Structure 1
């Protein structure tokens, strides 16, 4: 079995879906008996020792806490660390790679929406476009989390399909599970709901997540209800378009924005919702959909990019415009029977996605890189 060095130092500090990918993968690789070394931020070293007790954990220098310093470290110091650790292959799990490592390099490209969503105005977009082009051109193998992402890389970057491996994410069923009443109560209290039912969203608030249309669609769906639920938007930052959408509807509906939620609160937040709505215009995988299903939540999402690969027949679908969201969400809120069907189907579907299976797919990709 090859010795693999995973560069967990690249993971962003916001601890969103990307950190859950790296955490789940590292733990899965360790359980699979991989010969593993993990380089990480110094503050994360003890956590990775707990996640992967058999792995060699290598704390990186303090200076890699901002992007410019990290990228410089990645090009110069990471290859040296990999050789000192006796690695046969380097796995870069976050778009960018060392270009002169002297070792086979595998990169994870999480999505192609930086290229396919023209209204992606984030200042990060140019960096990710450049990093993705470079990684796809120079990495020995490219791992993607869905067939949809593979197909988009081939279409927009003319990527070589023979060097792309699909490895679906898993879900940690110990962390994401049908919540107890106490977990639901605690999450609701943290969001200031005081017993009011709610529709939940969890994720970043960048344009492709389509949160403004969710707000407008939600307002239309509940405007005739005598006791409407709240809409709780968890995660992300407050984008100007989201602020504007809230101002449009704030007189008629309750929109709660608690910001990032603690990991222990996520099962109660997701599983306690009437519906988890995730009307994204494009995803590389859609981990929030899988995690919501694992928590026993009925899920509404879009039939775009990878989302049908994750949701299958276990979720409800809508088009991403506000009118379609209003119709689909209204139908779900009106039918407890349909929500119950989705809860049961989602729980069964979520059990099909494991980090053990993901780890095996990654190990196969590492072996191909060496060969």
Structure 2
């Protein structure tokens, strides 16, 4: 009999950022007949139809309307989620975003995406740091198993919190190759027109504009790299998030003849044209749990510039260009890429080929193996008790 797994998707935000793409991709793969999972999903009411389409064979449970408010969702996680697990007769609960019920009533697997709340607390708000540090510590003590998206994150958990590595399972993220693919020229032209570029070349960034993503250094590095070029490419920062004083200071240094665009969140349908149409996709993050935007850019055939930090070399391998995260290093690396069309073509082809190795089906298989370990541990523990 297949293991019945309840995935808690109630924390997925409406903007469908990296967390949404992880949960959606995973549920879609777990819900396929070939996965062999007996899947149940609890979600916000607005997502009930979406998950019904993604996983037509799964049992979809819509939570209370109040789950759109974070304090109410966290309270429900403690009291309401264990009840849902009982109602659907779940063998295992999967919590895909750090936190978990203190008394789940059955084996629980928690995804810990990164440990930057410990290593770089200054990059987050004080309230977020306090909450997520507590959530991660709770998960390390109470969860049956932890899932992490990279070996780098596993190693950091062991180093920082003294975790037993045998309790941690690595499951790389996948990429939806139907959504992220090499764009047709028509798609590139449409996105260029919508962004007001009308064919002007550009460097792209995709991700939240939080300090950890190092966007201020990218702005400075790009400006220095292109300022004296005859046809300087624009810099387009796709994504939402805070706009810090550091960003204000970086933008203030941009020469007036250069173009910096901040369109905010881009529709999913625009992402292949946006990423695949860029001269370079630059993602000079100071650290990632995985680095999904790098993989998605590679899947769109874009040449990628990123850093050697944490998990990013696991994603990019030899198929991307690397830089140190400081602005001067970004300037040198970006200018070299912009001056070498042949290298950009080579990187684009290599990145696309490497991206084919990352699928949500492979990720789902790794998750299922973790769920089974959690259930087996519980059964063994029960017999021993």
Q: What TM-score does the superposition give when structure 1 sets the normalisation length?
A: 0.98
> Does structure 2 retain, via aligned residues, the 8 Å contact 1:219–1:252?
no
Pairwise CA distance, 1:274: 0.3
Q: What are the residue-to-residue correspondences of 1:194-209 with 2, within 5 Å?
A: 194-209=198-213
Q: Would you say 1:353 and 2:358 are equivalent positions? A: yes
Pairwise CA distance, 1:183: 1.1
Pairwise CA distance, 1:250: 4.5
Pairwise CA distance, 1:156: 1.1
Q: Secondary structure of the residue that 2:204 maps to in structure 1?
A: strand
Instruction: Measure, in 2, the Cα distance between the counterparts of 1:121 and 1:143.
Output: 22
| Other-structure match for 1:25 | 26
Pairwise CA distance, 1:238: 4.0
| Other-structure match for 1:48 | 51
| Other-structure match for 1:80 | 83
Pairwise CA distance, 1:15: 1.4
Structure 2: gaps spanning 5 or more residues: 377-385
| Other-structure match for 2:331 | 326
> Does structure 1 retain, via aligned residues, the 8 Å contact 2:210–2:242?
no
Pairwise CA distance, 1:119: 2.6
Instruction: Measure, in 1, the Cα distance between the counterparts of 2:121 and 2:111.
Output: 22
Pairwise CA distance, 1:198: 0.3
Instruction: Measure, in 2, the Cα distance between the counterparts of 1:304 and 1:110.
Output: 15
Pairwise CA distance, 1:124: 2.0
Q: Would you say 1:59 and 2:62 are equivalent positions? A: yes
Q: Would you say 1:146 and 2:150 are equivalent positions? A: yes
Q: Secondary structure of the residue that 1:10 maps to in structure 2?
A: coil
| Other-structure match for 2:222 | 218
| Other-structure match for 2:193 | 189
| Other-structure match for 2:382 | none
Q: Would you say 1:233 and 2:237 are equivalent positions? A: yes
Instruction: Measure, in 2, the Cα distance between the counterparts of 1:119 and 1:248.
Output: 24
Aligned residues: 371
Please point out which of 263, 270, 275 is paired with 1:270: 275
| Other-structure match for 1:175 | 179
Please point out which of 341, 349, 360 is paired with 2:346: 341
Please point out which of 89, 94, 105 is paired with 2:92: 89
Pairwise CA distance, 1:128: 1.4
Q: Would you say 1:132 and 2:145 are equivalent positions? A: no
| Other-structure match for 1:368 | 373
Pairwise CA distance, 1:244: 2.0
Pairwise CA distance, 1:91: 0.2
CA deviation string 1:249-287 (max 9, x = no partner): 142421100011111111110000000000000000000
> Does structure 1 retain, via aligned residues, the 8 Å contact 2:115–2:289?
yes
Q: Secondary structure of the residue that 1:212 maps to in structure 2?
A: helix
CA deviation string 1:200-240 (max 9, x = no partner): 00001111100000000001110110110000000022412
| Other-structure match for 1:249 | 254
Pairwise CA distance, 1:133: 1.3
In angstroms, what is the RMSD of aligned CA positions?
1.0
Pairwise CA distance, 1:114: 1.2
> Does structure 2 retain, via aligned residues, the 8 Å contact 1:2–1:35?
yes
| Other-structure match for 2:119 | 116
Instruction: Measure, in 2, the Cα distance between the counterparts of 1:27 and 1:238.
Output: 31
Q: What TM-score does the superposition give when structure 2 sets the normalisation length?
A: 0.95
